[in-house]
Structure 1
Amino acid sequence: MITTTHIKELLSTCMQCGTCTASCPNAFAMDMPPRKLWRLVLMDRTEDIFNSNTFALCSTCYFCTLRCPRGLPLTRAMSLLKEQAFKAKTPGYKKGTAFYGSFMESVRRHGRVRETEFMTLYFMAMKNPLLPLEFTGIGLKLMKKNKVAIQLPSRADGSNLDRLFQKVREIEDRA
């Protein structure tokens, strides 16, 4: 269950002035302006919030937070919405969640990202056998410029980050 109670508390004094929307460099690409998103948060309309792409397009530039006449932590609120969408595995964020998870799994195993493994994990998580074909063109261009190499599977490179990742999970679970 996704809840916006804490975010609602952060935004409780929002007066809907629109400064956040006017300050946002990405507002043109959002399906609803940040001001409307804050109104939905205050109205507890979680389904509408998480069907929107507004918080996903936030680039955390802090313009809204810096310019808010009430000094509200708007960028923090956007980050909390992103976290909740990620944790709840909302349908609109399946690709992003799988991409991020695959990336971090490769880093956990090797101490750095291994591109071939990372993309293989991503394709497997997406369960779409045609998805790799969408990436063929860019993959070939990157290989041609020696930006990525085909890496054969191997055991972990000795960078055991399991304890670090476990500690982060514990901290996140407490938050």
Structure 2
Amino acid sequence: MGQENNELLLTHIGPIKEMIQTCIQCGTCTASCPNTKFMDMTPRHMWRLLLTDHADVIFSSKSFIMCSSCYYCTLRCPRGLELTAAMSLLKQAASKLKLKRFRRSSLFYEAFLDSVEKHGRVKEMEFMTHYFMSMKNPLLPLGYAALGTRLLAKGKIRPDFSFGGKGKLTALFEKTAQLEG
């Protein structure tokens, strides 16, 4: 990471570090996490690295991306720390820093939220088309063609539909944008 990225990193990491400042490293978050087996770094290890100013090591891992926001760690934390929110902030920081290794995840989340904001729910065909186009890889959709065909045949996704939820979440997205600054 360059000097400019290091300054940006510190800007994004500060609030997260404050959130977990009172972590006692008990390991309850790691023991509670259903995704730990898929991570190359445990949540407890991530918090320790964050507290010791080694956030760059966290961003060299994809462990925080594996958080499914189940809130189990937050519920079980003896200190009552908002650990799920901290993981979410790590994901946001990776997206805002435009780190290359998280590009695919960031584009997926952006396409997903775009669809939800526009239609009040996920419009699968449009969502996946938007995602594939943002990846700028013409061969990527071919890997999903068989799955898409099976889902279409079983009626799990439809090419188009009308849904009355359009615009119902606009206030939510506006409030979120306002809170994020």
TM-score, L = length of structure 2: 0.79
Q: Out of 13, 30, 34, which is 1:25 matched to? A: 34
Q: Which consecutive unaligned segments of at least 5 residues does structure 1 have?
A: none
Cα deviation for residue 42 of structure 1 reads: 0.5
* Separation in structure 2 between the aligned mates of residue 14 and residue 137 of structure 1, nearest angstrom: 46
**What secondary structure does 1:14 align onto?**
coil
Aligned to 1:134: 143
**What secondary structure does 1:102 align onto?**
helix
* Separation in structure 2 between the aligned mates of residue 68 and residue 82 of structure 1, nearest angstrom: 21
For this pair of structures, how many residues does the alignment match? 169
Aligned to 1:38: 47
Could you tell me which amino acid in structure 1 is paired with residue 149 of structure 2? L
Q: CA RMSD in A?
A: 2.5
Could you tell me which amino acid in structure 2 is paired with residue 46 of structure 1? A
* Separation in structure 1 between the aligned mates of residue 58 and residue 95 of structure 2, nearest angstrom: 14
Cα deviation for residue 161 of structure 1 reads: 6.8
Could you tell me which amino acid in structure 1 is paired with residue 177 of structure 2? R
* Separation in structure 1 between the aligned mates of residue 33 and residue 169 of structure 2, nearest angstrom: 38
> Following superposition of structure 1 onto structure 2, how do residues 94-173 of structure 1 map, counting pairs within 5 Å?
94-151=103-160, 159-160=166-167, 164=171, 165-173=173-181
The 8 Å contact of residues 4 and 44 in structure 1, kept in 2 or not, is answered as no
Cα deviation for residue 71 of structure 1 reads: 2.9
Q: Deviations over 1:69-109 (max 9, x none)?
A: 33322222222212222332322321222122222323344
* Separation in structure 2 between the aligned mates of residue 114 and residue 26 of structure 1, nearest angstrom: 28
Q: Deviations over 1:40-81 (max 9, x none)?
A: 110222221112222211222333233333332222222221
Q: 1:28 to 1:167 in 2, by over 3 A?
A: closer
* Separation in structure 2 between the aligned mates of residue 158 and residue 71 of structure 1, nearest angstrom: 36
Q: Out of 7, 21, 36, which is 1:12 matched to? A: 21
